[in-house]
Amino acid sequence: MELNDHNKQEHPPMHTAEHILNQTMVRMFGCPRSRNTHIERKKSKCDYFLAEPPTDEQVRAIEEAVNEVIAGDLPVTEEFLPFREAAEIVDLSKLPDDVSQTLRIVRVGDYDVCACIGAHVRRTSEIGRFEIISHDFADGRWRVRYKLRENG
């Protein structure tokens, strides 16, 4: 759950996986983080705006990159920063105008950092295996649906 999503309490492993997926998409495609996200325990979806849909090979590479970060057993930490200081390290364009002057910043090791109010795991190894279950592309929007499988 990024900061502007105020829906029900999300599943911490799935939510932390979303952070990793967002950063993976930013790094691989240079696109913004997902602005339309729906996180649930069984499956979740994110939308990314791209010039063209990822190839099957790129979809497999996204999945592999996310799982590599998960397997890295990175710590997931939070800190509270004044708005101005947070603005220097994260994109705050999604925040509502009435946002607090102190923001909760969530870090996934040195892989990702963003402002977030959601629940997260303590370490990425608690997430499980990330699997892209389907995706489609229309009008510049690539929608990806994913689930998590238990480790072991």
**Where do the domains of the chain lie?**
12-149
Answer whether CATH 2.40.10.120 is correct for domain 12-149.
Answer: no
Q: How many angstroms separate the Cα of 74 from the Cα of each of 121, 127, 132, 139? A: 10, 11, 21, 36
- Residue pair 56/115 in contact (Cβ under 8 Å)? The answer is no
Question: What are the beta bridge partners of residue 80?
Answer: 104
Q: What is the pLDDT of residue 92?
A: 83
Q: Average pLDDT by consecutive 10-residue portion of the chain (152 residues)?
A: 46 95 97 91 95 97 98 97 90 79 94 93 97 97 96 65
What pLDDT score was predicted for residue 132?
A: 98
Q: What is the pTM of this model?
A: 0.90
Q: Which amino acid, one-letter code, is at 45?
A: K
* Among candidate residues 25, 33, 96, 23, the one with its CA nearest the CA of residue 58: 25
Quick one: how far is CA 59 from the chain centroid?
Answer: 16
